[in-house]
Structure 1
C-alpha cells in the first residue's frame, strides 16, 4: 500500500512494473538501488556488481520491520533524522489511537484482500493495526499466520462484526509470495457475501491505498 500515490504518479516511469530485469535497472545507471526481500539472488548479485550501492530492506510484514526499513532507507539516502521523525510520528499516532479506544468493547474484525482471497493473520502489520484500533482480529483467533488464504465459507463461520477491504482502484499489485488482484465487484455488492454479518450490517470498510 502507498499513501503517496498522487506524488509518485508524477514521477516518470522508466521500468515496467513486473517482471523487472537487472539490465533494466543497470541501464538507468543509479547511484543507489534499494531492493526488497523478494529480490532474487541472481538479480541481487548482478546489481551489486553493476551498481554503485545496493541496500536490501526486509519484508515489511510487521510494524517493527516497516520501521527498520524506514531506518535503512533513511541511512541510505543520508536522511537518518527524517527517517526517525517519521517513525516517531507513526508511534505517536498509534499511541493516540490506542488511548482513544482503551476500555471500549473490542469488535471482531477481519481484513480481506487479493480479490477477497487472502487475509492478514499473526505476524502482519495489519494484525497489529487492528489490535491498536481496539479490535480482535478474527484471522488471528482462527490461527492464520502471516498472509494466508481464506475461503468465503471460513469468513461466514468467523462471522466478524467488521470487514476491511483495500481500495486498489481496480489495479492489481504484487507482494512477496503472492499476487494481489483487484476484486470483480465491491464485496458488499457481491451476492456470494450477503450472508456475512458485516455485509448485512453495512460494516464493510474500504481502506485508502
Structure 2
C-alpha cells in the first residue's frame, strides 16, 4: 500500500473512531440516513451488508453493480434464499477491515454491539440502515420498503410487496385450527411472536408453543411432545435425515405417528420474499394430509 493510500486509510479510521457507533438491537427502531432526494448522489454505489437478512433484501432490490459486499452466509443455500443469485458477488468474512477497505456509501444490517469486529464502524462517512428483526409479515413489508428506498429503488420494493400480497391473498387456511409444533434440533420449540408463528397463523394452524404458554424459544422433551401430540410437527428440511444426536431426537419412534411438514430454514431464518414460499409450502403440505 502506497503512502497516499495509507494516509487516506488512517484519515478514514480516525474519522470513524470519532463518530458515534452504529447503534440498535434487533427490534429497535430503524436508523436510516437515506440520501435526500435532492442530493447529487441519491443512489448509493457501494452497498455493504452486515448480516444474512440484509443480504436477502439487498440482492433482491439493488443492482448487482451497487453491491460492494455481502456476508459469508449469502451464498450458503442452507441459510440463504438468494444463494444462487449471490454467486459472483463480493463476500466478506466479517471483519471491520474488509468493510473499511470497500469504502461503502451505504451499510445495511447488524447492530455493532453484536460483533466486536464491526463495533469500530461508525456512520460519519456513509449512510447506514439498521434493520428491525422481522417477526411477522408487516415487519417484512416495512423492511422491504426501507431497503428499497435506501438502495435507491423504491419502485422495486413496491412491486415486490404487491406480488407478495397477491400471492398471499389466494392462500388457503388449510390448517383449520389444527395444532402444529415447529420442532428443532435438540428439542427446541419455536413459540409465539416469531416469524414461524406468523406463518402458522396465516395458514390456519395453532402453534403448540402458544397453546402451552411457552416463550419464543424453549426446549421440549420427547415425552412432553408425545403427550401434547400436535396434529403436525414442522421441521427444517435439512433435519429430515439423521445427521447427529440433535437431529436423531426429532426422528424418535415415539413421535412416528405425528405427520411431518418440512420447509427449508433458508425461507424462515429471515423475513423476506421467501415468506410467501414458506406459507405456500405449509398450506400445500397440510392440504395433502
Do both share a fold (TM > 0.5)?
Answer: yes
How far does residue 52 in structure 1 lie from its aligned partner after superposition? 1.6
**Partner in structure 1 of residue 234 of structure 2:** 164
The aligned length equals 184
Question: Per-residue deviation at 1:109?
Answer: 0.9
Q: Which runs of 5+ in 1 are unaligned?
A: 171-181
Q: How does 1:86-165 map to 2 (within 5 A)?
A: 86-97=160-171, 100-101=172-173, 105-113=176-184, 115-165=185-235
2:123 to 23, 28, 48: 48
**How big is the shift at 1:53?**
1.5
TM-score, with structure 1 as normaliser: 0.73
Query: Rg larger in 1 or in 2?
Result: 2
Instruction: Tell whether 2:263 aligns with 1:207.
Output: yes
Distance 2:163 2:130 in 1: 24
Q: Distance in 2 between matches of 1:119 and 1:155?
A: 10
User: 1-side partners of 2:205 and 2:106: how far apart?
Assistant: 40
CA contact (8 A) 2:109 2:129 kept: yes
Structure 2 stretches lacking a partner, 5+ long: 1-78, 267-289
Greater relative contact order (Cα < 8 A, sep 6+): 2
Q: Is the 8 A contact 1:26 1:47 kept in 2?
A: no
CA 1:142–1:56 in 2, change beyond 3 Å: closer, same or farther? same
Task: Please list, as runs of the form range in 1=range in 2, the aligned pairs for 1:175-190 lying within 5 A after superposition.
Answer: 184=244
In structure 2, relative to structure 1, the CA distance for the partners of 1:9 and 1:162 (3 Å cut) is: farther
Out of 151-160 and 58-67, give the one that drifted further: 151-160
